[in-house]
Amino acid sequence: MYKLKAAEWRPQHFKWEVADRVATITLNRPERKNPLTFESYAELRDTFHKLQYADDVRVVVITGEGGNFCSGGDVHDIIGPLVGMEMDALLAFTRMTGNLVKEMRTCPQPIIAAVDGISAGAGAIMPMASDLRYGTPEAKTAFLFVRVGLAGCDMGACAILPRIIGHGRASELLYTGRAMSAEEGLAWGYFTEIVRKEKLLEKAQTMAQTLASGPAFGHSMTKKCLHQEWSLSIVQALETEAEAQAICMQTKDFERAYHAFVAKQRPKFEGN
């Protein structure tokens, strides 16, 4: 079987650490609030794509340095050049940014976003495309595309955000581009929990370790069904989940859980 060791990867445009089956991505241009460039977009996309082949990563945490998550596309490195591009180049760029979201949603590992400070534009999309989100009281989430003369429908925002916080609330944020406060994000179900700045990464890593010690194949099936069933009828969804669960029942982890239960012990999942 074709496998990669993620601990050996050396990305050039963000920090990458793998420990105890958890990979941590840290956006690390704090002097500019961790903006994205053409190169970092592409490297993030490629990293999430390769994760399907990594057997040493069960959960991914993504965060930012210096009190902010990510300010979106770099004004000088991305926004400026886009103004002078022709349609074919523009479409190649927007498809590439959309592919980052596609790879995040289709990689088998759950993704946890730890969000502090500014999370704007594409920097709001990445937590939105994650599976769980933790924020600080200082977190400000803005889908601000309309504020630069664009549409709110960027990188899947019109499909994903309404499913998290509701159609009306998502509409208001996407039409106005205003920042959603941490309190709103928690009340609307965007954030799982709000924690103090100094405890943010610890909270995300604790949850990551909880998930990493669970049934990895089962978690990948859960993520796949959560993603695929957006476009299914309830009848189709029931059949999809029946097939997924039957497959999971053939795993060793299912058998391990049964024997542990009989022995009144805690199961130790090995991911197969």
pLDDT interval class at 250 (50, 70, 90): confident
Give me the sheet containing 132-135, strands edge to edge. 15-19, 22-27, 59-64, 111-115, 132-135, 193-194
Please give the pLDDT value at position 85: 86
pLDDT 10s digits, 146-162: 988 889 889 999 999 99
What are the structure tokens assigned to 129, written together?
């495309």
The rounded distance, in Å, linking the Cα atoms of 255 and 213 is 16
Domain 6-212 has CATH 3.30.160.100: no
Distances in Å between the Cα of 178 and the Cα atoms of 32, 127, 146, 267 are: 20, 17, 9, 46
pTM of the model: 0.92
**Which helix or strand (DSSP H or E) is residue 96 part of?**
helix 87-106
Instruction: For residue 146, give every residue at least 6 positions away whose Cβ sits within 8 Å of its Cβ, in sequence order, or none.
Output: 152, 174, 175, 176, 177
**pLDDT class for 138, splitting at 50, 70, 90?**
very high
Strand-pairing partners, residue 19, are: 22
Pick the CATH number of 216-262 from 2.60.40, 1.20.120, 3.30.1490, 1.10.12: 1.10.12
**For 76-110, what is each residue's pLDDT tens digit?**
888 888 888 899 999 999 999 999 999 999 999 99
What are the pLDDT digits (tens) for 33-76? 999 999 999 999 999 999 999 999 999 999 999 999 999 988 78
What are the residue ranges spanned by the domains of the chain?
6-212, 216-262
